Amino acid sequence: MGNELRGSKRKRPKPVEIVGASSIEPEEEEELTVHTSKLFELNIMAQDAVREFALHDIDDKEGLEKKRVAMHDAFTKLYDEAAGFLEASMTQEFDIAYLRSRIESSEGEAKEKLSTALKELEDDTQKSTSEMWMARVLAWLHQAAAASGPFVEREHEDKKKEASRHLAAVYTLLEKPFSAIPSKTDGAQKLRRVALGHMALGLMTGSSKAQEADSADIQSRSKAAEAEFYDEFLNELIGTESTFRQAFNPFDELIWRDMLSSFIFEQATDLYNEALPLFEKGKTVDKQRVSMIKAWKQNTAGLSEVYMAMTYNDIADAQMRSGNLEDAAKLYEQSSEAFGRAEKCFREVLSLQSNAEQSGSDKEGKKAQSLFCKAEAAVPTLSELLEVDNKEEAMAVLAEIFKDLKKAEKLAKARELVAAIKENLKIFSFIEDMLTKKTGDVGSIKGQIDFAKDLRKTALIEIVGKSLDEAGTKLSSDPSAALDSIREGLSSLGILLSLESDDEEVGTLRNRTLAMLSHLKYVIQFQVSSQRQHGVQFITSRILENLHASDSATYYKVIGETKAADELTDLGKLALATAYASEAQIFARQSEQWAFRAQLSRTNTLKEFDDEIAQFVEEDVSDSTVKLHDDTVRRIRQTVAAFEAATNELNSVKGEDIRSKNNVDAQVKQLQGVIVKFKGDLSRLLGAKSDFLAEVYSKKGDASKAKQYFSEASDRLREAVGNYTVAAQMFQNIGDADAAQSVDDKARTTDLIARGIWDNRQKMDRDETPTYLGDSELAALYLGTGGQ
């Protein structure tokens, strides 16, 4: 039925070939990870893992469990990478220390401006730390959920160990000052309370005067705080993440959200159960507090069952739409039972009666769905019996179908399901009447069943088609209304697919629905991206835009709407190019900061080096400064790699209209100039490193190595001049005079420094003392400025 999806393999971006630009020697290149590419691959792997789990044979318990664990592992890798990227993009600690030192020596207005800048930087640091911490929490949560699942009784010890390792990283970050508030609850504060409780309990246990009541007070508060961490914070975090990832597609993405939610509420329930007897053993028993926690426990116990019911329902929906009606019937039955358990939990608390009523209604609705699927699963058997003229057994099967449908009719709540059940009852009443009256061969009755099914199929197709037409008119102007329209047709589509999963017309309707659903997700994700300016979440949102657009394009191609498919493919490429460019900008800013660090470290190291030479200290003090140069070079390489990926992705846009509307050709030329400019920066910093080492060896009296490094530095800087000259011409050609002038200034300044370094090389040939670079020249060398 054309449900093919893209593979998760993606080639590493090739460097952009630019005539006239100098490149770095092969031996100095290193394997770089473009984080956007990695996140792109991991997002695809996570999506594929969810789909594979949802569609796996439910009777294969071992296989299903492997798919479940693989799904959680895929998400863990995704969040680990996101946390690592966030950590790599944080550079504020040095800047904060530098600003503080400047503030100490400043006065008046200058001091006030620096203080304001410091406050903004500290706020930005806390925000970045918060995002990184929540990514690590999500990575841990998926491993914790993987350790035990609803389909097998045993626990996975290896997953428990992985969860502990991830949780250790979560706790370690708590030493930094930050808040983590997805919506209302500060998860960092909750977990700090837990950590302090563990510490206090340890101290209390070691005390010679420890009393049971004191320990109970500490333990009860700690357990309650940990329960609230699950109940409140993790619930908010999952909700925020599922909204961000547009996890409303009933065909797959809901499952991971519902499974995590069931897990966290189960954990919260266990913790509340552990806390309650401790509260009652404390010095003073707060009856109101105990009563409140009992209510919370019943709520979390009920919610755990609700989300477990929803998990079974998610898988049942996937099985139903694939035509696996027997499996779907079993899963809907399990969903109904879980809703029933939830109803009992909620009934025990007066304030939760509305939850109980809703769960009771859902229990009946899922039971009706189960009975409907069971009845439908028996229809092929009925047709086979009629075809072979086995009237007696056909009547027995028909009686079971009636029994299930009549039960379902009493329980059903959803409009689409009620309509389908009534239609089925009409059809099978007619069949029963024919069977009762017919005395001869009953094989011809099968034709009547097929005819009735065709009529029902036509009616359902019209309903779904109308919903899609309405959604199409609102797709761009009102995405929320478009989503409501699609949702109205999804239940009818589910019923239709359960009846006619192999029908070509139904398959086309399914693919059209999936195309529009993914198209809608792209539109909404685009709006989400527009609300973010930069950073890892912005990049992730752009990646999701690309994936939604690509999914939509895949289905549009299958149904023959190539124009829409091509347009969405190109729009997805624009989104991914923006993500790559955003990563490049992160490392571009970092490279400037690291270059400044390297400059300061060079100045301090050489001063320290001079002092130690005077004292005949043999220890080399230059290693840390060399590392700073290497770190700076690595960030520039990262910048170049990400800009190259952005250029390649942008240049792969095919549609002339989209290329014209988004000025793709001009953007590609601009990026090519930027790449060459950064290659110039790369050569300049490599030259700075060589010049630093030349000065070190010169002062050590090692003339041979000093000459070697002076020569290397001169060559690197001349290479930089060549790249700057090419970049300036490229900017001039596209009419960007300011950029051309800026890069041309870099070329002139770098050329002057290169000449000075070459003079030092020649002085050493003449056994003369080199003229080392002064502060203004160092600023020009490291920052690419004129040294002002």
Query: Quick check: is 393 in a domain?
Result: no
Q: What is the pLDDT of residue 27?
A: 42
Q: How many C-beta atoms lie closer than 10 Å to residue 450's C-beta?
A: 10
Query: Quick check: is 424 in a domain?
Result: no
CA torsion sign for 597, 603, 606, 609 is negative
Q: What is the pLDDT of residue 386?
A: 81
Block means of pLDDT (10 residues each) for the chain, 788 residues, are 38 50 51 91 93 86 91 96 92 73 78 81 87 96 89 84 96 92 92 87 66 78 90 94 75 79 94 88 78 94 96 87 87 96 96 96 96 91 84 90 94 88 88 76 72 82 90 88 83 79 84 91 92 89 95 95 96 97 94 91 84 53 86 95 97 95 95 97 97 92 93 96 96 95 95 95 91 92 71
Nearest alpha carbon to residue 58 among 70, 47, 49, 67: 67
Q: Based on the domain organization, do 528 and 673 belong to the same domain?
A: no
DSSP-assigned letter for residue 27:
G
Query: Quick check: is 529 in a domain?
Result: yes
Query: Quick check: is 433 in a domain?
Result: no
Burial zone of 152 (CB within 10 Å; 0-12 exposed, 13-18 middle, 19+ buried):
middle
Q: What is the pLDDT of residue 7?
A: 37
Q: Based on the domain organization, do 632 and 542 belong to the same domain?
A: no
Q: How many C-beta atoms lie closer than 10 Å to residue 657's C-beta?
A: 9
3-state secondary structure 83-140: HHHHHHCCCHHHHHHHHHHHHHCCCHHHHHHHHHHHHHHHHHHHHHHHHHHHHHHHHH
Structure tokens given for 736? 């960007």
| Separation between Cα atoms, residue 709 and residue 702, nearest integer Å | 11
Nearest alpha carbon to residue 685 among 642, 722, 719: 719
- For tokens 């197709």, name the residue: 461
Query: Quick check: is 501 in a domain?
Result: yes
Contact residues for 682 (Cβ-Cβ < 8 A; gap 6+): 24, 633, 636, 637, 640, 720
Query: Quick check: is 219 in a domain?
Result: no
**Residue 625 structural domain:** 577-783
- In the listed set 119, 152, 178, which residue is the last one of a domain according to the structure? 178
- pTM exceeding the 0.85 threshold for the entire prediction: yes
- In the listed set 560, 595, 624, which residue is the last one of a domain according to the structure? 560
Q: What is the pLDDT of residue 112?
A: 82
| Separation between Cα atoms, residue 420 and residue 61, nearest integer Å | 32
| Separation between Cα atoms, residue 10 and residue 769, nearest integer Å | 54
Q: Based on the domain organization, do 41 and 161 belong to the same domain?
A: yes
Q: Based on the domain organization, do 65 and 109 belong to the same domain?
A: yes
Q: Based on the domain organization, do 467 and 553 belong to the same domain?
A: yes
Query: Quick check: is 750 in a domain?
Result: yes
Contact residues for 241 (Cβ-Cβ < 8 A; gap 6+): 138, 257
Q: What is the pLDDT of residue 4?
A: 38
Q: Based on the domain organization, do 551 and 638 belong to the same domain?
A: no
The answer to whether 296 touches 232, Cβ cutoff 8 Å, is no
Q: Based on the domain organization, do 594 and 531 belong to the same domain?
A: no
Structure tokens given for 639? 């910048």
Contact residues for 636 (Cβ-Cβ < 8 A; gap 6+): 587, 591, 678, 681, 682, 685
Phi-psi region of 286 (alpha: psi -120 to 50; beta: other; left: phi over 0): beta
Q: Based on the domain organization, do 81 and 141 belong to the same domain?
A: yes
| Separation between Cα atoms, residue 142 and residue 163, nearest integer Å | 8
Query: Quick check: is 341 in a domain?
Result: no
Q: Based on the domain organization, do 528 and 479 belong to the same domain?
A: yes
In the chain, the number of structural domains is 3
Q: What share of the chain is helix, strand, coil (3-state, %, to 5)?
A: 80, 0, 20
Q: Based on the domain organization, do 542 and 588 belong to the same domain?
A: no
Contact residues for 589 (Cβ-Cβ < 8 A; gap 6+): 91
Task: Calculate ∠ Cα 12-15-20, nearest 5°.
Answer: 175
Q: Based on the domain organization, do 478 and 609 belong to the same domain?
A: no
- In the listed set 535, 560, 585, which residue is the last one of a domain according to the structure? 560
Task: Calculate ∠ Cα 267-232-259, nearest 5°.
Answer: 50
Q: Based on the domain organization, do 44 and 139 belong to the same domain?
A: yes
